[in-house]
Amino acid sequence: MSTLVFLEHHGEELLKSSLGVLSKASSLGDDLAGVVLGANVRGLAEGAGKHGAAKVYVADDAQLEAPLPQPRVDVLAQLVQSESIDTVLFANSVLAADVAAGLAARLDAGLNWDLVDLAQEDGKLVGKRPALQDTVYVDVGWTSEPRLALFRSGSFDPVETGGSAEVEDLQVSLEDFSTGARMVDQAHEESSGPSIEDADVIVAGGRGLGGPENFTLVEELAKALGGAVGATRAVVDAGWYPYSTQVGQTGKTVAPKLYIACGISGAIQHKVGMQSSGVIVAINKDPNAPIFEFADLGVVGDVHEVVPKLTDLVKARKS
Amino acid sequence: MKPADYPPPFDAREFVAAPADPEDERIDVGVLIVGAGPAGLACAIRLGQLLENAPEVRERLGEVPVAVLEKGKQPGSHLLSGAVVNPRALRRLFKGRKRVDEMPFYGPVEHESVYFLTSKRALRIPTPPTMKNDGNYVASLSQLGRWLAEQAEEGGAMILPETSAVKLLAADGRVRGVRTGDKGRGRDGEQLGNFEPGADVVARVTVLAEGTQGHLTGVALNRFGLAGENPQVWALGVKEVWKVARPLDRVIHTMGWPLRAASKYREFGGSFIYPMGKDMVTLGMVVGLDYRDGELSVHDLLQELKTHPLVRKLLDGGERVAWGAKTIPEGGLLSLPRQLHAPGLLICGDGAGLVNVPALKGIHYAIESGSLAAEAAFAALQRGQTPSTPGALAVYDEALRQSFVWKDLKEVRNMRQAFGRGFWLGGALAGAMTATKGHFPPGDTRTERDSEQELLRTDRAQSYPASDGKLTFDKLSSVFASGNKTRDDQPNHIVIRRDVPPELARMWERMCPAQVYEATAEGVDITPSNCVQCGAITAKGGRLTPPEGGSGPEYTLT
Amino acid sequence: MKIAVCVKQVPEGSRRIDPETKRLDRSGEGALNPFDANAVEEALRLKDAGGEGEVVLVSLGPPKALDALRKALAMGADRAVLIADDGAGGADLVATSKALAKALEREGADLILFGQQANDSDGAVLWAAVADRLRLPVVSQAAELTHADGKLTVKRQTEFGYDVIETPVPAVVAVSDAVNEPRYPSLKGIMGAKSKPQETVSLSDIGVDGLESRTEVYALNDPPARGESKKIEDDGNAAQGIVDFLAEKRLL
């Protein structure tokens, strides 16, 4: 199995999710390479070596500076074909999804997306993906090579193996249509914290908070954890918090790594909006609240006591 | 204290208007049918058949000869019943075109049992003659509705889902059509970015087939003075559909537990358990809304019923796949409007009150009335006729009175009212009525409004089972199982007094199967997006009006 | 400007996977993929702003997918083309993009729009594959889209914030659900939809010999158990308990 992992970067760093996929791939086989594309990115190759890649291809070119997908498809297509790579792995992101799909069309190659795991079973490569709001897991595969896979962001933790990689520079030659789209202004860091859709951590408040003024408890904890604030339908209906933060059947569906539910009973209308969260912590003074049936850690207690203490402890720990 | 002491701020006159849209924005159709249920669709199907052979009449009805408005997401979304259907009216409607075995039924009724339940036991009792179901078929009304809609479309009708009818268009003493509801309003009625106003839909004949608690039906009865002497009364039915491990081989009805027999409670009703093929079962609890105990909750009675050994055994190893609730008009013949037509207007089905309570049947009456309405409308649309002339549609009332619908309803006209005297006395009276085909006791018993019943309070709620998520379920997860995903910022469509005493607010809280009402310190809070539009509130001191088209439950198996 | 919008019919109501075919059961009622409504709305706005043009819907699906197309026609789209062919059943990304690209070539639109994702497969990949086959620029996650002087300016929403990207037309753009609030079809629109041109074509009609998927489904499994659920009572130390728990899970 000859595997290539697309390593995305932002600023001066390789994304953790890409490195996670690289670590996973290194546990599956030996012939593993990473590829970094951009402008002035040679320095990032080191990170790839530390996480298990024997080789890193670097495409360093001004035309690749902007995080746009199509030039990357051109480079990867040539690489895959010239090196007879049979498996290409991506960690999902807006950019990676467009690159993976463009590459699939270019090479007429199968792409399985939203995978959370990958394994060799009976001589076949099998991807695992959740479906139907994570209530069923599907084993998927490929009927031909190369095989392309897009993993849910954060599926794997990066593991440093302390190796170093051989670096190979790639020639960049692009199709005309690939340079049609032009970046005029690249994203600046958001100053107001992550949006609820992208946040790794969400702290949400429900009726158990008692009143709109108590949402400050939720906001403080979210800020301390670097996360976003969520709300239930009941409190949005009551006007305590804006609809844009509503999580649930008639609001947003989120799947952060950590969801802390404060004073939320856990009715199914709310549950379906957050049940795929990595870890769920619930704080509620009603020991029979339905949320305790699916929370990983349930705390029967008063949010007005527990949350401020938690915020202080988190702040202390981070500093 | 009774709910009628706090009447809702509802004025039917606000819902009648003359057509206001400029002529070129009005929508013109030939026959307008409000409601894609069995009555409305039967009307559309029959009209299609009649127009097939009368091209000149169809020509004169314009580009859209028959239009059916449906407030649900699609036909079937708001249809819910038991149901065991008498195929008589379907046979007549589809004579020569479709056989019963081509209709979406779950099979004929092969066996049936009636039980009197106590909390632990089930005593088999002989099936009352009014309840015998030989020759009848088990159906999901929602599925039957979808099938009927397909037939109606094949016959040329245009079905317009996600469209509510909020005002009756009337001018010069005749009905001109309806005004459809706005879409894209916010919680306070403000226009949102995608606001789309409703439209005036004018037609030569308007047929109201809105089902139980029909909004415009109530408005029309008021406007044209059509109400009968006796007020209508309703029952609330809450049901579930389950996938089961073992097939059920019979249709089951129960009486008794968990309802209380003493007359002071006025708890009339029972349960039904029907097989849907080999791997599904539907079961429901039906209770008259003239009950008096403020703690009564039909949804919770259904949950309680499932804990009975007889029922628990049937559901063991199974899984709930659907839930829903709807009211049933129970007044029978004596509560019907004195007339079901007005200039340019016909009224059919449950909206009219055509239900045989002792037999638990109304679907075949709905279909028959829809069919008769089509025939009356067609006759009035012949060359030289004007349907809006007073009396032009009187043939509908005449035909209905000559039909089996009337004959059946006359025989059982006093039965429901008899049960107001308690289970045992009521049962004895009902038996006498059956034996004498309605001649004895003579005369006609009055009905009393559900909202006129004085509330009393017991500890009834103490015996409601806690929800375990496997056999018993809470209201919110049940609303979810109805497919309801109404947007939260819609305007409130429920008209009630908000500053009511705690006793009344708590009664509403228990009554509503969808947890719409919540008693607070100031009175009552409403979560209208939970509403599954069952209509119970209209019987007990409030008034349900149609919300934005497309909202509410999305039933498929009920 | 001629705008093509790629839309899909998805199963309505509660979903199930057919254990035999291991694919989503599409036998029940279907509806327009809600995210596609944003794309249709954006197309209609651009057409309205430009004063003239055509909005044509392109879809791959079974014959009954026409129902979903009709909803988009009721919103105001002008025409619909449905690729319905037994050979297209269960088509994956490679196969679907191939068929759509051929149909789109036939249309020769100035702009091709997609919605944010298909809510049945949760796929957010189709547009990039189609764009590659058509050899057109592609921009995704458009939260804002303006058209002037033969050029599109797109505000693209990514994990890092908003980019501003320009592209000439013809181009392929996928809009995010933040781009607009889709209009409700008017009653006149719903009634008029039936009589708008709706074409059903086969694969050979659009010049596709055969479609081969390159992925397959092997099996369905239960999800892994969530793991032990812990419950603690607050005796003043619950906050510390939470911190320890999060540290153990390497979330702090």
For chain C, positions 7-36, list CB contacts with chain A under 8 A.
Answer: 15-17, 22
DSSP per position, B142-181? HHHHHHHHHHHHHTT-EEE-S--EEEEEEETTEEEEEEEP
Among B371, B321, B376, B331, smallest CA distance to B354 is for: B331
Distance from CA of C128 to the nearest CA of B (A): 30
3-class secondary-structure state, position C128: helix
Q: Is C191 on the interface with B (CB under 8 A)?
A: yes
Which of B64, B194, B556 minimises the CB distance to C183? B194
pLDDT at C22 over 90: no
B528-556: per-residue pLDDT in tens? 999 999 999 999 999 999 999 999 999 99
| Burial class of residue C205, CB neighbours in 10 A (0-12, 13-18, 19+) | middle
- The pLDDT value given to residue A192: 66
DSSP per position, B445-469? -----GGGSPPB--SGGGGSPPP-S
* C-alpha torsion angle, residues A291, A297, A303, A308 (rounded to 10): -150
B16-30: per-residue pLDDT in tens? 999 999 988 899 999
Mean confidence (pLDDT) of chain C = 92
Read off the amino acid at residue A214: N
Q: Is C186 on the interface with B (CB under 8 A)?
A: yes
Nearest C-alpha in C relative to A176: C135
Among B81, B136, B122, smallest CA distance to B254 is for: B122
The tokens describing B517, both together, are: 């009402």
3-class secondary-structure state, position A188: coil
Chain A partners (3+ C-beta pairs within 8 A)? B, C
Spell out which residues of chain B touch residue C186, defining contact as CB-CB under 8 Å: 196, 199
Distance CA B5, CA B8 (A): 10
Residues paired with A167 in a beta bridge: A56
- The pLDDT value given to residue C12: 80
Locate all alpha helices (DSSP H) within chain A, ordered by sequence.
16-28, 45-50, 69-83, 94-107, 215-225, 233-237, 268-271, 303-318
- The pLDDT value given to residue C18: 85
Distance CA A22, CA A14 (A): 11
- The pLDDT value given to residue B421: 61
Q: What is the mean pLDDT of residues A34-57?
A: 92
Spell out which residues of chain B touch residue C194, defining contact as CB-CB under 8 Å: 158
- The pLDDT value given to residue C19: 82
Lowest mean pLDDT among B47-51, B67-71, B434-438, C17-21: B434-438
Interface contact flag, B477 A237, Cβ < 8 Å: no
Chain C partners (3+ C-beta pairs within 8 A)? A, B
The tokens describing A221, both together, are: 């904890």
At residue A165, φ and ψ (nearest 5 deg) are -115, 150
C55-67: per-residue pLDDT in tens? 999 999 999 899 8
Mean confidence (pLDDT) of chain B = 94
Nearest C-alpha in A relative to B466: A288
Q: What confidence tier does B422 reach under pLDDT thresholds 50, 70, 90?
A: low
**Chain B residues within 8 angstroms (CB to CB) of chain A:** 466, 469, 474, 476-477, 479-480, 485-489, 527, 529
Taking every pair of C-alpha atoms in chain B, what is the biggest distance, in angstroms? Answer: 67
For the whole model, what pTM was predicted?
Answer: 0.92
State the CB neighbour count (10 A cutoff) for residue C232: 15
Q: How far is CA B398 from CA A119, B224, B393, C39, in A?
A: 75, 18, 9, 54
Q: How far is CA C139 from CA A24, A148, A198, B79, in A?
A: 30, 21, 19, 44
Which of A95, A135, A180 minimises the CB distance to C171? A180
The tokens describing B88, both together, are: 């008589």
Spell out which residues of chain C touch residue B72, defining contact as CB-CB under 8 Å: none
Query: C223 preceded by cis ω (within 30°)?
Result: no
Provide ipTM, 2 decimals.
0.94
3-class secondary-structure state, position A237: helix
Beta strands in A143-217 (DSSP E): 147-151, 166-169, 182-185, 201-205
Q: Is A268 on the interface with B (CB under 8 A)?
A: yes
Interface contact flag, C185 B198, Cβ < 8 Å: no
Distance CA B442, CA B19 (A): 47
B198-223: per-residue pLDDT in tens? 999 999 999 999 999 999 999 999 99
- The pLDDT value given to residue B439: 76
Distance CA A222, CA A216 (A): 10
Distance from CA of B198 to the nearest CA of C (A): 8
Distance CA B299, CA B311 (A): 16
State the CB neighbour count (10 A cutoff) for residue B225: 10
Distance CA C32, CA C8 (A): 6
A284-301: per-residue pLDDT in tens? 999 999 999 999 999 999
Interface contact flag, A299 C215, Cβ < 8 Å: no
Which of C124, C240, C251 minimises the CB distance to A279? C251
C236-251: per-residue pLDDT in tens? 899 999 999 999 988 8
Q: How far is CA A317 from CA A296, C189, C246, in A?
A: 22, 60, 12
Q: How far apart are the first and last CA of chain A?
A: 45
Nearest C-alpha in A relative to B486: A250
The tokens describing C93, both together, are: 């990304």
Nearest C-alpha in C relative to B554: C13
Q: How far is CA B79 from CA A316, B264, B319, in A?
A: 58, 33, 22
pLDDT at C159 over 90: no
C134 contacts C105 by C-beta, under 8 angstroms: yes
A190-208: per-residue pLDDT in tens? 666 778 888 899 999 999 9
B82 contacts B241 by C-beta, under 8 angstroms: no
Q: What is the mean pLDDT of residues B335-361?
A: 95
- The pLDDT value given to residue C17: 85
Name the DSSP class of C17. Answer: B
* C-alpha torsion angle, residues B296, B298, B299, B305 (rounded to 10): 100
Q: Which helix (H) or strand (E) holds C201?
A: strand C198-201
For chain A, positions 146-175, list CB contacts with chain B under 8 A.
Answer: none
Which of C45, C183, C191, C195 is the best mutation test for B, with the most CBs of B within 10 A? Answer: C191
Q: How far apart are the first and last CA of chain C?
A: 52
B263 contacts B288 by C-beta, under 8 angstroms: no
Which of A243, A269, A288 is the best mutation test for B, with the most CBs of B within 10 A? Answer: A269
Interface contact flag, A135 C223, Cβ < 8 Å: yes
Q: What is the mean pLDDT of residues B293-309?
A: 97
Sequence-separated (6 or more) residues with CB below 8 Å from residue A203: A218, A221, A222, A225, A227, A228, A229, A230, A260, A262
B253: left (phi over 0), alpha (psi -120 to 50) or beta: beta
Q: What confidence tier does C93 reach under pLDDT thresholds 50, 70, 90?
A: very high
Interface contact flag, A293 C249, Cβ < 8 Å: no
Among C85, C84, C147, C145, smallest CA distance to C116 is for: C145
